[in-house]
Amino acid sequence: MANVGKVSAKIVSAEQLSEGIYSMWIEHKEMAVQAKPGQFISVYCTDGAKLLPRPISICDIDKEQGRLRMVYRVAGAGTKEISQKQAGDSIEVMGPLGNGYDLSEVKQAVLIGGGIGIPPMLALAKALSCEKTIVLGYRDAKTFLLDEFEACGKVVISTDDGSLGTKGNALDAIRANGVTGDMIFSCGPTPMLKGVKAFATEQGIAAQLSLEERMACGIGACLACVCQSKEVDHHTHVHNKRVCKDGPVFWAEEIEL
């Protein structure tokens, strides 16, 4: 299904969740109806010096109200400008973009989110009706969205400094708590995804990985966000796939990390 193009959406709410972490609900009926867990939105700044949109994962989907939620980290001037928007303002966005997670034939799911890869796991957790364990990797005890995840299923936590849950990364928490399932869904930094892929291969579990990558156009035209694939891409004719267009979600065996 094609995205709805660049549109102006109304901001329903905007708030800070934790240090550097912000939440924003926007209203656009057609975009919300089309959205799937794992997809993202390109958000445009009003500052003419920032021509390229900022890709932000979809954190939550309310199809009945025609609303989408983004939870993001302020990482530069663009996201800083977005964080200063308030309820009632309008914002230019394009989406939903990319491919989402495949939710078919899942009986026991393991959701693994690390850092700013945590927010898209919320929409996925709500969409999955099967048994699930949600594994979240935070920097420290300054968590975000935790209460909302706990309403969706069993939650296991890791923190880099050991101040909450298992000390270490999400995979350390998985091993410490004996987490298992028949499908892994994951989003987070590349080192974490490498570990998830290795763990899935070791355990013989299918895995879908959502890659975090710097993007430019968001629609697959500029080839700025390619990743290495095992198969030759029909568009580039080399072992590349475009994260924004072919992904951001890939089956683990499709890509090299």
Tens of pLDDT, residue by residue over 62-112, are 999 999 999 999 999 999 999 999 999 999 999 999 999 999 989 999 999
Specify the pLDDT at position 251.
Answer: 93
3-state helix, strand, coil in the chain (%, to 5): 20, 40, 40
Helix axes 170-177, 190-203, angle to 10 degrees: 30
Q: Are strands 108-114 and 131-138 parallel, antiparallel or unpaired?
A: parallel
* CA atoms of 65 and 33, how far apart (whole Å): 10
SS3 14: strand
What the block records as the tokens of 105 is 């034939």
Model confidence pLDDT, tens digit, residues 19-38: 999 999 999 999 999 999 99
CA dist 8 and 244 (Å) reads 21
**All domains in the chain, ordered by first residue:** 6-97 (2.40.30.10), 108-212 (3.40.50.80), 216-249 (2.10.240.10)
Q: Tokens 């997809």 label which residue?
A: 39
Condensed to tens digits (0 to 9), the pLDDT of residues 71-80 reads 999 999 999 9
* pLDDT score for 32: 97
Backbone angles phi, psi at 199, to 5 degrees: -65, -45
Of the candidates 194, 159, 155, 198, the one whose C-alpha atom is nearest the C-alpha of residue 177 is 155
Q: Dihedrals φ, ψ of 206, to 5°?
A: -65, 145
Model pLDDT, residue 218: 46
What per-residue confidence (pLDDT) applies to 234? 60
Q: Measured between alpha carbons, how far is 69 from 24 in angstroms, rounded to an integer? A: 6
- Inter-CA distances, 32 with 3, 210, 241, Å: 11, 20, 26
- b/e per residue, 122-136, with b = 16+ CB within 10 A? bbbbbebeeebbbbb
pLDDT tens string 195-244: 999 999 999 999 999 986 544 444 444 444 545 555 555 665 544 565 55
Q: What percent of the chain is modeled with pLDDT above 90? A: 77
Q: Please, which residues bridge with residue 73 across strands?
A: 21
